[in-house]
Chain A
């Protein structure tokens, strides 16, 4: 019963985002601020993680392709498919949930327990719309860009390690990246990234917004925000793959 109550409340929360909104200019400024916090704030971590994931994927794919009958450019092809289809949008989404989602839940949870949300509400402002909508919009704008950066860094990391260790030559790597390339995979990755960004930001905001109690509850809400976001990402990942690739 508790589960259905929470799901129902989540949908009411989403509906509240779009009713009794403030002026467009108010949101414009807030979205820009959130874009900087989410996009620029996550850039270093995304570049670091994706570069290493690409590098490790290259080394491990080469380690597993032991047959002399398989050309070496296949390593790059495998790294490309892994990166574009799964590593860049999905693994980054889990990292995104850990960094941005927890920050959103913690921020809103702290605002709740220190009565800052009440202060917004008492002024006659729709606090859900004012505080949460910019976060969701900014996430949906910035996360696909982060995924593009992650994809590039991952493939570049594979290129660097492949070239430096002699696993694969640069021309072979570039050839592998281009070989039988289906451009729909990029569209698929971007569709996934928009869906994941929405899930992470809305679930984390929901958890933070309805925190009650003290610092301990803010910690619990933050943990739940990340856990629930990751579960939602994995479920959505499966359904999107089934819907768009099967």
Chain B
């Protein structure tokens, strides 16, 4: 479980996050949604420590990450798997080497064991035949799947996904969403997904946090998101014509 309390973050004069608090439970897909520029990715990066927050505390299973020394932070980070928006694969390494990277650095596993684990993860994301390819030789959707394989190779307790289906076609988006959901349930990870894709929200949103202008405006699940009674959330949810038509039918 990850708990955040009163997170504030500003860049120069611009306040990006103002007192965001929340709880992300283990074994569930937690979604952070909101329009572009509302601070979703900044919040995610604050949680994983890529951007230091100005104020507030972050707990990973009761371990205070915000005030932790380097050793503890490194220890917590080694339990984190993260999927970046563009995949963030290392260009100079093959798919196999990319997935093996965390094992090379963070473990003392023998090569055979590492290869078995890499093959298992690649198979899990349906890319067992792409192991020897370079990132430049595979499609955007495949890059995301390699990113997921790399994120789970070290058996993470926490999985973070920053806009996992941006730039993907609808079918591949659903595939990626299902993969994230399956991994969350299968490995019992605390998963946080940043997205503005309503398909993802309705597909995998066990717990949803809606950010608006740096504030948390609403929290709930996919069942009650359509009747929250909050104008800003309704504007976001029903901006999509399909969703709008659905509301009219209801």
Contact = CB atoms under 8 A, between A and B. Distances in A.
B105 A122 contact: no
Interface string B67-83: 00010011111101010
Contacts of A118: 45, 50, 84, 88
Interface in A5-57: 20, 22, 26
Contact of B80 (A114, A116, A122, A130): A122
Interface residues of A, number: 15
Interface residues of B, number: 27
A229 to B, nearest CB: 23
A26 B108 CA distance: 11
Given A20-B70, A22-B105, A26-B105, A123 B77 contact: yes
Contacts of A26: 104-105
B106 interface: yes
B185 interface: no
Contacts of B80: 122-124
Interface string A105-121: 00000100011101101
A115 B160 CA distance: 14
B140 interface: no
A115 B144 CA distance: 13
B90 A116 contact: yes
Contact of B85 (A20, A115, A125, A130): A115
A9 to B, nearest CB: 15
Interface string B146-176: 0000100000000010000000000000000
A116 B88 contact: yes
A117 to B, nearest CB: 9
B214 to A, nearest CB: 21
A104 to B, nearest CB: 13
B86 A114 contact: yes
Contacts of A121: 50
Contacts of A123: 77-78, 80, 101-102, 105-106
A20 B70 CA distance: 8
B48 interface: yes
A124 B75 contact: yes
A168 B12 CA distance: 67
A116 B101 CA distance: 12
A124 B84 contact: no
6 nearest A-B pairs in the assembled complex, by CB-CB distance: A124-B77, A124-B74, A115-B88, A119-B88, A115-B84, A124-B78
Given A20-B74, A123-B77, 6 more contacts: A26-B105, A115-B85, A115-B86, A118-B50, A123-B105, A125-B105
7 contacts: A20-B74, A26-B104, A119-B90, A122-B82, A123-B101, A123-B102, A124-B106
